[in-house]
């Protein structure tokens, strides 16, 4: 799937070939591939589902800006249509009914529309502010992801260190068991001491098993947060980084200044506050006129499917004109007015008998009808310019303006609250870091004292001056002190990670 997982798969093959020769006891882990913190963070950025859900917001934000600028340009619409009307009869009133043939229609239209108002003019500024907010959300998700992976990585290291503490306790209890058995054999200890040592050894073995289980679960949780699954047994993965303990040397004022400019949550709210300012401008602009421009071109066709019915209608009309022409010629001839039409039949496009259309006339009718679907008849160009100003809208504009101002004020308060929260977090986490560092010093001294106590108790028991219970208590105190020291060290590192999350960037 990627380079790191490929290395893990290769490591699993290598470790599998040597497994038959391994005679080591099963309690000890055998990691094969190291995982650094930066590699874990890189894998998480590539594969974390939660992080990618935030990344998906970048696309709509970019298109929102493009859409806002595109709204400043005219919109163009192109349309085409096809239609069919069946044959039937048309009633023109007065008892006049005329059959109509079936016909096909087609058409096109090309329209241009441009509208300009305050909301459209305010759109680019508002959308750019929202895009900045989305970018800051992504930055914040990256900071949160880094903090989450770092914290879990440290928890995994902490679990490994606790395993080593448990293993040392097992070794101490094993030495104590051997000592109790040796003293029992020479009559310097009772069987009760031996049984007590065996119980203590068994308890430490169980504690080691539980520590190993906690270590495995911590690694599994780390991989889950990274968004990957391990192709090898979890015992073959080792977190390889180490973190030195250094005295905290952070300046509070510098951290607060960096947090003011770098914290992504605060920056995102500031960008949304800017967007709300543009929203107020857009709401105010509704009280101004709106300019609209429209222009368009169109055309259509209409073709009758039954040409015989069409020709019949044309013949009927021609016969009516022939009768009028013949009547007019007769009147003019009887009154000696002159101006008769020499050939009425030819002038109206019918034969001399008047029972059929002339062939050229009929063919012209057929040619004029043969227009479907692309022989369009163009319509005149049309254009309009409109300026509108609503006078009364039921207080809708006032309502939207009040809502926009309320949202702006809400975001102002959110920014102020976020700034206070960030400054509080920085102060609190710096104090926690200083406390964690001082705790390490205390726990280190406690660990040294517990080690001396255990050494002295064992020596007293070895020479017969002490009891087995004294040794048991001392060894338990050592384990607690060792575990508390490990916890103090990793609490310190986690405090640094928490401070980095509050500031908004890495400090190491």
Residues 137 and 258 in one domain: yes
Q: Are 145 and 71 in contact (CB under 8 A)?
A: no
For residue 216, give its domain range.
124-287+398-503
- The reply to whether 24 falls in a domain is no
Structural domain contains residue 87:
no
Same-domain check for residues 263 and 155: yes
User: End of a domain among 335, 368, 388?
Assistant: 388
Same domain, 492 and 373: no
Token pair, residue 343, equals: 């050939």
Same domain assignment for residues 380 and 433: no
In a domain, 311, yes or no: yes
List CB contacts of 433: < 8 A, sequence separation 6 or more: 248, 250, 492, 495, 496, 499
Which pLDDT does position 187 carry in this prediction? Answer: 82
Residues 243 and 381 in one domain: no
The region, left, alpha or beta by phi > 0 then psi within -120 to 50, assigned to residue 304 is beta
Domain count for the chain: 2
Q: How many helices (H) and strands (E) does the chain have?
A: 13, 9
Query: Are residues 155 and 256 located together in one domain of the fold?
Result: yes
Extract the tokens encoding 238. Answer: 């080792």
**Same domain? 379 vs 416:** no
62 is a domain residue: no
The reported pLDDT for the residue numbered 18 is 38
17 in any annotated domain: no
Length of the chain equals 508
* Whether residue 73 is found in the same domain as residue 163: no
Tokens of 243: 């973190």
Structural domain includes residue 25:
no
Domain boundary among 336, 362, 388: 388
Shared domain for 383 and 418, answered yes or no, is: no
Same domain, 273 and 382: no
- Domain assignment present for residue 89? The answer is no
Q: What is the dihedral of CA 58, 62, 64, 66, to 10 degrees?
A: -170
Are 150 and 109 in the same domain?
no
HSE-CB for 218 with a 13 A CA cutoff: 22
What span, in angstroms and rounded, lies between the C-alpha atoms of 145 and 140?
8
Per-residue pLDDT tens, the chain, 508 aa: give them. 555 554 454 344 334 433 333 333 444 444 467 889 999 999 999 999 999 999 999 999 999 999 999 999 999 999 999 999 887 776 666 666 777 778 899 999 999 999 999 889 999 999 999 999 999 999 999 999 999 999 999 999 999 999 999 999 999 999 888 988 988 888 888 888 888 889 999 999 999 999 999 999 999 999 999 999 887 888 888 888 888 999 998 999 999 999 999 999 999 999 999 999 999 999 999 899 999 999 999 999 988 888 887 788 888 888 888 888 888 888 888 777 777 778 888 888 888 778 888 888 888 888 888 998 888 999 999 999 999 988 888 899 999 999 999 999 999 999 999 999 999 999 999 999 999 999 999 999 999 999 998 889 888 888 877 787 888 888 889 899 999 999 999 999 999 999 999 999 888 7
* CA–CA dist 331, 376 (Å, integer): 44
Last residue of a domain, one of 364, 388, 412: 388
Which one, of 219, 225, 256, 257, lies nearest residue 238 by Cα? 219
Closest CA to 372 of 73, 27, 90, 103: 103
Same domain for 429 and 361, yes or no, is: no
Q: Is residue 404 assigned to a domain?
A: yes
At residue 23, the pLDDT reads 31
CATH of the domain at 214: 1.20.1600.10
Confidence at residue 38, expressed as pLDDT on a 0 to 100 scale:
93
Output the six-digit token pair for 84.
């069919």
Q: Which residues pair with 282 in a beta bridge?
A: none
């Amino acid at each position: 799937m990627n380079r790191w997982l490929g290395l893990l798969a290769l490591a699993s093959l290598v470790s599998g070939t040597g497994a038959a020769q391994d005679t080591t006891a099963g309690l000890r882990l055998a990691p094969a591939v190291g995982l650094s913190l930066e590699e874990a963070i890189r894998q998480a950025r590539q594969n974390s589902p939660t992080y990618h859900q935030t990344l998906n917001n970048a696309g709509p934000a970019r298109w929102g800006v493009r859409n806002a600028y595109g709204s400043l340009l005219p919109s163009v619409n192109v349309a085409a249509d096809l239609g069919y009307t069946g044959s039937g009869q048309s009633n023109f009133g007065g008892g006049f009914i005329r059959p109509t043939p079936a016909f096909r229609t087609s058409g096109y239209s090309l329209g241009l529309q441009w509208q300009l108002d305050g909301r459209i003019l305010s759109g680019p500024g508002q959308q750019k502010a929202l895009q900045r907010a989305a970018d800051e959300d992504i930055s914040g998700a990256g900071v949160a992801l880094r903090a989450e992976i770092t914290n879990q990585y440290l928890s995994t290291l902490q679990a490994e260190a606790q395993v080593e503490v448990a293993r040392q306790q097992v070794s101490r209890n094993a030495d104590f068991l051997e000592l109790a058995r040796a003293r029992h054999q020479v009559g310097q200890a009772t069987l009760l001491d031996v049984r007590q040592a065996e119980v203590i050894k068994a308890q430490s073995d169980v504690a080691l098993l539980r520590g190993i289980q906690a270590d495995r679960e911590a690694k599994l949780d780390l991989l889950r947060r990274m968004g990957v699954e391990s192709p090898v047994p979890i015992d073959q993965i080792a977190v390889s980084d180490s973190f030195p303990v250094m005295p905290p040397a952070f300046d509070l004022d510098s951290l607060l200044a960096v947090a003011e400019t770098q914290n992504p949550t605060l920056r995102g709210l500031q960008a949304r506050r800017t967007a709300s300012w543009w929203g107020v401008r857009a709401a105010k602009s509704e009280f101004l006129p709106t300019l609209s421009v429209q222009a368009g071109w169109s055309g259509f066709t209409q073709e009758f499917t039954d040409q015989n019915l069409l020709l019949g209608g044309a013949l009927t009309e021609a016969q009516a004109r022939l009768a009028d022409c013949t009547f007019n010629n007769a009147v003019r001839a009887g009154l000696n007015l002159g101006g008769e039409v020499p050939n009425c039949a030819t002038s109206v496009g019918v034969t001399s008998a008047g029972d059929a259309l002339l062939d050229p006339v009929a063919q012209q009718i057929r040619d004029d009808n043969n227009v479907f679907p692309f022989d369009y008849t163009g319509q005149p160009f049309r254009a309009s310019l409109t300026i509108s100003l609503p006078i009364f809208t039921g207080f809708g504009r006032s309502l939207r303006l009040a809502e926009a101002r309320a949202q702006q004020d809400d975001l102002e308060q959110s920014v102020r609250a976020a700034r206070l929260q960030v400054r509080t977090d920085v102060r609190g986490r710096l104090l926690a870091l200083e406390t964690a560092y001082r705790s390490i010093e205390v726990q280190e001294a406690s660990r040294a004292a517990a080690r001396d106590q255990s050494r002295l108790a064992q020596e007293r028991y070895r020479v017969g001056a002490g009891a087995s219970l004294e040794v048991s208590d001392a060894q338990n105190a050592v384990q607690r002190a060792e575990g508390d020291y490990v916890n103090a060290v990793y609490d310190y590192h986690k405090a640094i990670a928490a401070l980095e999350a509050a500031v908004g960037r890495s400090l190491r």
